[in-house]
């Protein structure tokens, strides 16, 4: 168990290092620079700026300097926000994104599990068809379209909620639904199909033969067994939530890390892009690590391997 954990951690660190190196190189060879503006800067000014940010050094030296900083938790200065470092910007905006992503995940799990169970219980009935049709729509609905639709319907037409704010619990509702909708649809249909598949296994027949009620068969016997494929997709789903958060934060004007990332891309603020990329990767690595641990919790066979 401890060995597995250690191995996974090392693998995660390796992924982080590969991503950091590749992104670093990619941003060095990308055309255009952070100091390209409409007004051409005099060469002396550019030289000064490059000296200030150590851009005049050879690439390997910049790389070592940057990696040295990363190890100490310093992600370098931002080219755009002159008085703030990247670490500072991320520290301010990351909690917002995590709250949003976490709530969306919670929403997805809380809605998808009952729906999937329900659909599997009443499989091939009218209710099941309706649930699955809604899920199919939900998977195909881009989150910016859903976000715009919700804003238009709930905020502008009905006037129930206000938008463009991020201060109390009510401003979280629409972004949470927007971000959580696709994962919900995906999880619900996955849970339904794995449950239905599990229902034809021998141990389920045994449980039925003992005279258990169908609902107990599903909840106590089939559900746990169906959790493994569901856990497998939690990692990719976390990735989907991360990328979804760029868009949702943009649509709802939420001051999270994703919105800063988009502005950083437009401004070519390379250190900020790099820093956010690293944080996203780290989050993802952690999510996968947790999923791996949950695995061995749900399925004892994995612990032995």
Partner 1 sequence: MDSPRKPFDLVIALSAVFVGLVFVAACLAPWIAPYALGGLEEKQMLQTPSLAHWLGTDGLGRDLLTRVLYGARVSLAVGLGTALISLLLGTSYGLVAGFKGGNWDHLMMRIVDIFYGLPDMLIFILLSLLFGRNIGGLLVALGLVSWVRFARIARGQVLQTKELLFVESARALGASRGRILLRHIMPNIVGPVIVTLTFSIPSAILAESTLSFIGIGINDPYSSWGTSWGTLAQDGYRAMRSYPHMIASPATAIFLTILSFNTLGNGLRDVLDPKQK
Residues that bind partner 1 (CB under 8 A): 15, 18-19, 23, 26-27, 29-31, 124, 129, 136-137, 139-145, 148-149, 151-152, 156, 193, 196-197, 200, 235-236, 239-240, 242-243, 246-247, 250-251, 261-262, 265-266, 268, 273, 277, 280-281, 284, 288
Nearest approach, Cβ of 250 to partner 1 (angstroms)? 5
For partner 1, the closer CB: 107 or 246: 246
3-state secondary structure of 77: strand
Nearest approach, Cβ of 142 to partner 1 (angstroms)? 6
Q: Which of 93, 79, 81, 91 is nearest to 271 (CA)?
A: 79
Q: By 3-state DSSP, what share of the chain in percent is helix, strand and coil, each rounded to 5?
A: 80, 0, 20
CA–CA separation, 194 vs 204, rounded Å?
13
Nearest approach, Cβ of 113 to partner 1 (angstroms)? 20
Phi-psi region of 159 (alpha: psi -120 to 50; beta: other; left: phi over 0): left
For partner 1, the closer CB: 184 or 288: 288
Nearest approach, Cβ of 68 to partner 1 (angstroms)? 22
Nearest approach, Cβ of 58 to partner 1 (angstroms)? 21
3-state secondary structure of 299: coil
For partner 1, the closer CB: 123 or 298: 123
CA–CA separation, 274 vs 23, rounded Å?
7
Other Cβ atoms within 10 Å of 276 Cβ, number: 26
For partner 1, the closer CB: 32 or 300: 32
For partner 1, the closer CB: 31 or 42: 31
CA–CA separation, 41 vs 99, rounded Å?
41
End-to-end, the C-alpha distance of the chain in Å comes to 9
For partner 1, the closer CB: 81 or 144: 144
Nearest approach, Cβ of 137 to partner 1 (angstroms)? 7
Other Cβ atoms within 10 Å of 186 Cβ, number: 19
Instruction: Name residue, tokens 């550019």.
Output: 46
Nearest approach, Cβ of 111 to partner 1 (angstroms)? 20
CA–CA separation, 80 vs 88, rounded Å?
13
φ and ψ at 232, to 5 degrees?
-55, -35
For partner 1, the closer CB: 72 or 240: 240
3-state secondary structure of 85: strand
Nearest approach, Cβ of 280 to partner 1 (angstroms)? 6
For partner 1, the closer CB: 5 or 169: 5
φ and ψ at 85, to 5 degrees?
-85, 165
């Amino acid at each position: 168990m401890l060995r597995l954990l250690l191995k996974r951690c090392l693998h995660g660190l390796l992924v982080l290092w590969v991503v950091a190196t590749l992104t670093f190189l990619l941003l060095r060879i990308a055309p255009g620079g952070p100091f390209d503006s409409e007004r051409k800067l005099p060469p002396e000014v550019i030289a000064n700026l490059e000296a200030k940010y150590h851009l005049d050094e050879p690439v390997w030296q910049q790389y070592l300097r940057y990696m040295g900083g990363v190890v100490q938790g310093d992600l370098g200065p931002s080219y755009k926000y002159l008085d703030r470092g990247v670490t500072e910007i991320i520290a301010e905006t990351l909690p917002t994104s995590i709250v949003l992503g976490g709530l969306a995940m919670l929403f997805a799990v809380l809605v998808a599990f009952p729906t999937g169970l329900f659909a599997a219980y009443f499989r091939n009935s009218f209710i099941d068809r309706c649930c699955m049709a809604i899920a199919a729509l939900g998977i195909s609905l881009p989150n910016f379209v859903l976000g715009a639709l919700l804003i238009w319907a709930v905020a502008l037409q009905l006037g129930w909620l206000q938008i463009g704010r991020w201060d109390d619990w009510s401003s979280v509702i629409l972004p949470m639904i927007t971000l959580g909708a696709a994962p919900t649809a995906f999880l619900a249909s996955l849970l339904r199909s794995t449950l239905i598949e599990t229902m034809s296994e021998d141990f389920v027949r045994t449980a039925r033969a003992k005279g258990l009620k169908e609902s107990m068969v599903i909840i106590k016997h089939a559900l746990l067994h169906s959790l493994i494929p569901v856990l497998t997709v939690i990692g990719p789903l976390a990735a989907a939530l991360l990328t979804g958060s760029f868009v949702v934060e943009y649509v709802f004007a939420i001051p999270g890390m994703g919105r800063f990332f988009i502005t950083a891309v437009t401004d070519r603020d390379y250190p900020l892009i790099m820093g956010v990329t690293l944080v996203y990767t780290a989050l993802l690595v952690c999510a996968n690590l947790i999923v791996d641990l949950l695995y061995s919790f749900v399925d004892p066979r994995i612990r032995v391997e």
